[in-house]
Amino acid sequence: MKIHFEASKCQGHGRCYSLAPDLFDSDDLGTAVVLVTGELDADQLKRANLAASNCPEYAIEIGD
């Protein structure tokens, strides 16, 4: 499973990089940047799902 991030939907709410700072970071404008683009381990997957389920803009999906 991987992180699929649709940058054009991100409005910088910052939920992902607060909840999963090892997977997401902020750029200088507050927009999210994905740090882990490859396959997620079980622990990462849990936090990735948490980040996705807190994004108000539905910019993050976790899938193959």
Residues found near another protein in the complex (CB under 8 A):
11-15, 17-18, 26-30, 50, 53-58
Q: Of the two residues 23 and 55, which places its CB atom closer to another protein in the complex?
A: 55
Q: How far is the CB of 31 from another protein (least distance, A)?
A: 8
CB-nearer residue toward another protein: 39 or 48: 48
Q: How far is CA 2 from CA 28, 37, 54, in A?
A: 25, 7, 17
The Cα 22–Cα 57 span in angstroms is: 21
Beta-sheet pairing, 60-63 with 2-5: antiparallel
Q: Which is nearer to another protein, 2 or 13 (CB)?
A: 13
